[in-house]
Structure 1
Amino acid sequence: MEISLIGLQNAGKTSLVNVVATDEYSEDMIPTVGFNMRKVTKENVAIRLWDLGGQPRFRFMWVRYCRAVSVIVYYCSAYSQSDPDNLSVSRSELHDLLSKTSLNGIPLMVLGNKIDKPGALSKEALTEEMGLSSLTDREVCCFMISCKNPTTIDQVIDWVVNHSKSKN
């Protein structure tokens, strides 16, 4: 199974990959330059995780790495107080990416990260902010997570394994 993990810079994508691969969380992360790839096995399923850089200069690559994946995982910060424009940019980038015909039908999981911070958005608020109800051409789900809490990460992995494009 292949999964592309995309989203704006500083959303926490690399932290998630590290937690999934090693079960360890670290506050000290270096921004991804280009992409990283990690192979992990969860629930007897081999998963190749593509962690794609979120800086503007790397976003053009997203479509290339999402074409043949089982699930597109779009990662965003549910804690918008540090950057109020972050969610509107994130929504725009997500909808632009999903408008590409080569990505039609690929399931989408949106992860709202940093829910451990005071003032983080609720699942309902993030769903509305990201315009997820308008995405009707694919299966869409939204999970609220914190990389510091392994329970939420396990739920995400369960959904990915059970709803991947390869199982349809």
Structure 2
Amino acid sequence: MATISIYSWFQSVYNYLLSLFWSTELDVTLLGLQNAGKTSLLKVFIGEEFSPDSIPTVGFAMKRVKHGHVTLKCWDLGGQPRFRSMWERYCRGVNCVVFVLDSADASTFETAKTELNALLSKEALVGIPLLVLGNKNDLPASIGTEEIINILQLEQYKDRDISVLSISVKEGKGLPGVLSWLISRKNSNK
């Protein structure tokens, strides 16, 4: 019995030392229009239950998501018109930007395209990888990734690392792929 506890102690010390020398922290900015599901996504990532009654982010919030030896420092930015002017400030120098789109609400597509294209035109964001998430794919009106690429005019960004994933935060669909994509950017330049 003493052997197991000594082994367990050495294992925990080893893991702690490993985390000191081999852990990585990534800066990630979550943005998109209001009610797209940014805050719900972040809550699910930190282990909370999905709630359809999520309170909209006012301004910004920051949460850390630990996955193995990688910690994601996630900035959740408000999507209301009055907060969009600060998006660029929170995107400078991050490892990647995640743009969440309500893929079932066609009334928001034009505004989402305008806001995202304006943001991507900023000099400070050149070279920063972009992940576009078409959220709410559990709803019948949702569109797929090819339609998202066309609507947001993403094909024009040839020199930028862009990926588009279809997800449902509510049902958990596609979320492991989101984490994998984010973690794979740990070597991207800041």
Give the TM-score range, shorter chain: over 0.9
Deviation at 1:23, TM superposition (A): 4.7
CA contact (8 A) 1:72 1:108 kept: yes
Cα separation, 2, equivalents of 1:151 and 1:77: 14
Match of 1:85 in 2: 107
Match of 1:125 in 2: 147
What value does the CA root-mean-square deviation take over the aligned residues? 1.5
Cα separation, 2, equivalents of 1:7 and 1:152: 18
Q: Which has the larger radius of gyration?
A: 2
Cα separation, 1, equivalents of 2:52 and 2:139: 14
Provide closer, same or farther for how the CA distance between residues 31 and 9 of structure 1 changes in structure 2, counting only shifts above 3 A. same
Find out whether 1:14 has 2:36 as its counterpart.
no
Match of 1:26 in 2: 51
Deviation at 1:150, TM superposition (A): 2.9
CA contact (8 A) 1:71 1:109 kept: yes
Match of 1:43 in 2: 68
Deviation at 1:151, TM superposition (A): 4.6
Letter of the structure 1 residue corresponding to residue 98 of structure 2: V
Structure 1 residue ranges without an equivalent (≥5): none
Q: 1:111 aligns with which of 88, 112, 133?
A: 133
CA contact (8 A) 1:23 1:150 kept: no
Cα separation, 2, equivalents of 1:143 and 1:149: 15
Question: What SS class does the counterpart of residue 66 from structure 2 fall into?
Answer: strand
Aligned residues: 165
Cα separation, 2, equivalents of 1:163 and 1:76: 21
Find out whether 1:155 has 2:177 as its counterpart.
yes
**Runs of 4+ off more than 6 Å:** none
Letter of the structure 1 residue corresponding to residue 32 of structure 2: G
Q: TM-score, normalised by structure 2?
A: 0.83
Structure with more helix by fraction:
2
Cα separation, 1, equivalents of 2:172 and 2:107: 29
Instruction: Report which stretch shifted further, 95-104 or 149-158.
Output: 149-158
Cα separation, 2, equivalents of 1:164 and 1:88: 32
Letter of the structure 2 residue corresponding to residue 94 of structure 1: L
Deviation at 1:149, TM superposition (A): 3.0
Structure 2 residue ranges without an equivalent (≥5): 1-25
Deviation at 1:85, TM superposition (A): 3.0
Cα separation, 1, equivalents of 2:117 and 2:68: 31
Q: Which has the higher contact order (CA 8 A, sep 6+)?
A: 1
* 1:128-139 pair list within 5 angstroms: 128-139=150-161
Question: What SS class does the counterpart of residue 22 from structure 1 fall into?
Answer: coil
Question: What SS class does the counterpart of residue 28 from structure 1 fall into?
Answer: coil
